[in-house]
Structures are given as structure tokens and as C-alpha cells.
Amino acid sequence: MTCRVMLRSVFRCLQTNPVAGYRSMSQSSLAGKVAIVTASTDGIGLAAAQALGKRGAHVVVSSRRQANVDKAVALLQSQSIQVTGTTCNVGKGEDREKLVKMTLDQYGGIDILVSNAAVNPFFGSIMDSTEEVWDKILDVNVKSAFLMTKLVVPHMEKRGGGNVIFVSSVGGYQPMTGLGPYCVSKTALLGLTRALAPDLAQSNIRVNCVAPGIIKTRFSSANWRARGNWRSDCILVHRGGFLHHRRDHHSNRRDGLSTVNLHVQQNTFALNRVFL
């Protein structure tokens, strides 16, 4: 079975509640909401921070390097976005705790977590990957996503609910050549979403997972450069490069699917009805 046929099959399976074409971005305000976006000084994370900030949210950005944080904060402030930032390596418990504490000290609560941080230290045959590679990828991409969620949930509960969004990948459905361990970690995020959603629904906390295709960012450069034309090889299988893993549990709607419509054109990341 070819890559094209397999991805078409996956996409059909995800169309239980299809989103009929593009809708304009929701005009509902996020004023007063506080959003943490991990790995948010570049690429998808930065674009998500911009989208949240433009709708009125107080945004907290983070990166492992202070220079990157300073650059992102300056950019967002120039766009009249209420933002602060700090260094954070999500693989370190003390850094995760520092990020949450700084957010609480600055804004008094947390409403939204966009868990975007990920690493991929390996490109090649999965059989050549080492234990060190697997430990690094699973620690950052999966375990840290859960532990970060565990830290923010009590503060969301104090505010009557919240939203957790994991950034997975189309590779979580159809592994990409050369990215085996990374794709396995993205598949794990789909499972984490399904595992968390029923439990957190009781606290009016919604859990969503989005699966972008290859977006032309610095992080994905090894992949799209290897493929030559970054829009080729059947990866961008839905408008804007996204497949949708839609799982949304409201406190009064335990079996529904969320409406998640994300639009990506290179580094532009627009959100429609993800948070409300």
C-alpha cells in the first residue's frame, strides 16, 4: 500500500465529524485567560502564542535559550500582545515548576496549556536508534507533556476549568521514513489525549490533540530538506497540513468530539474554536 493510499485511509477514519471547509477564525475573546505555550519562540509554538495573544490572552512563552525568549517577547509585544517569558527545558522538573510558578506570580492563574515542546535527535533507520535516543525522545515528547499537564491542572480547577492542547504530528498516524522514534512519541500523544480526557472532563478541562503535517519550520528542516519539495510526498493531506484527532470532553458532554480547525500556511497558525 502506498503512502498516499494509507494517508487517505487514515483521513477518512478521522472524518467522523468533518469540518465543512474553512470557517473564519472565531471572534470570541480570550481576554483575561492565561496561556502557557511551551517551545514557543519559533515555528508552530510562536505562531500559536501569536494567535492566542491576538485574541486577548495573556501569553507565557518559553524556550531553552534566554536570547530566543527575549526575541519572541519583543516580537509579541510589538504586536500589542500581553506576554512574558522565561527559559524552560521541559525535560527538567525544576524548569517546569519554574515556568508554572512564574505564570502564577505574573498572572494569578492558568487557563490554557499548549504542549508543543519536542525533540528529535535522530534521523535514520529505526533499527539504528539507540537507547539514549529513545530515552531523550520519550522523556521530552511524552513524559514531560504529561508532567506539565499534571502541574497545571490544579490551577485550572481553581478557575473552573481549562484547556490542554497537545501538538502531535501526522507522523503519529503514519510514521515517516527516518523519523521512527519521533513518530512513535507522537502516536503516544494521541493515546495520552484519550487517556486524560475522561478524567479531566470531571473538572471541566478539555483535552485536544492536533496533528500537523510537515510545516516548513527550523525544527522540521531535516525532513523537508531531505524530501526536496516540502509540500510533496503526500504529507500535507488536509488543508493547511493538518489531520485532526478530535477528542473533546465538556463537563456536560462526555462522548462528543471537539471541533478543531487549524490552518497553517508556512508559519501562520490560526485557531478556530479550539479553546471555547
In this structure, are residues 36 and 258 in contact, taking their beta carbons and an 8 Å threshold?
Answer: no
CA distance 57 to 51: 9
Give the list of residues 6+ apart from residue 52 with CB closer than 8 angstroms, or none.
30, 33, 35, 37, 59, 112, 114, 271, 275
Three-state secondary-structure class, residue 187: helix
Strand pairing category for 162-167 and 242-245: unpaired
Q: What is the DSSP string of 120-168?
A: ----B-GGG--HHHHHHHHIIIIIHHHHHHHHHHHHHHHTT-EEEEEE-
Of 22, 107, 173, 182, the catalytic one is 182
CA distance 7 to 160: 39
In this structure, are residues 104 and 155 in contact, taking their beta carbons and an 8 Å threshold?
Answer: yes
Three-state secondary-structure class, residue 113: strand
From the list 7, 98, 41, 24, the residue with the least C-alpha distance to 267 is 41
Q: Is 182 a catalytic residue?
A: yes
The residues assigned a catalytic role are 182
